[in-house]
Amino acid sequence: MTANVLQAAVVTALICVGSFFLAVGTLGLLRLPNVYNRLHATSKAATLGAASIFLAGFVHFGGEGAGLVSLVGIVFLFLTAPTGAHMISRSARRMGVDFLPDVYWPRVLEAESERETETEGE
């Protein structure tokens, strides 16, 4: 009986943490100014929330059957969420979605300064 209550307490804590991170991810999706900044919120916070709820499923269902599927789901989420975020941000960059005004691509700035020194040398 005590073990049952302890298990339920752990599941409750994991569900609370997961709901919190899902809410944080969606708040970032709604409030942040740019698609690249929104990807930060969704690809990290929302994935962490879903993984926490998966972990709650593992604690609830135990080490066989659906519990193991939950662990596989955590691994799958942690593999695919960064890949999908990278693909979206790369296609956004290729579509010409601009960064924020004071954000620049480091290589581009270096190339511009090199070009300036070359023209000064001439």
Partner 1 sequence: MASDPAFLEWAIFGGLVVASGVTFLCAYRVIRGPTTPDRVVALDTIGTNVVAIAVLFALQTDRGLFVDVSLVLAIIGFISTLAVARFVTEGDIIE
Q: CB count, 10 Å around CB of 69?
A: 13
Min separation Cβ 97 and partner 1, Å: 5
**How many angstroms separate the CA atoms of 22 and 101, rounded?**
29
**Minimum distance, C-beta of residue 94 to partner 1, in the bound complex (Å):** 5
| List of residues contacting partner 1 (CB under 8 A) | 4-5, 8-9, 11-12, 15-16, 18-19, 22-23, 25-26, 29-30, 35, 38-39, 42, 46-47, 49-50, 53-54, 56-57, 60-61, 65-67, 69-70, 72-73, 76-77, 80-81, 83-84, 87-92, 94-95, 97
State in angstroms the smallest separation of the CB of 101 from partner 1.
16
Q: Minimal CA–CA distance to 77: which of 105, 107, 47, 100? A: 47
Cα–Cα distance measured from residue 105 to residue 122, given in angstroms and rounded to the nearest whole number: 27
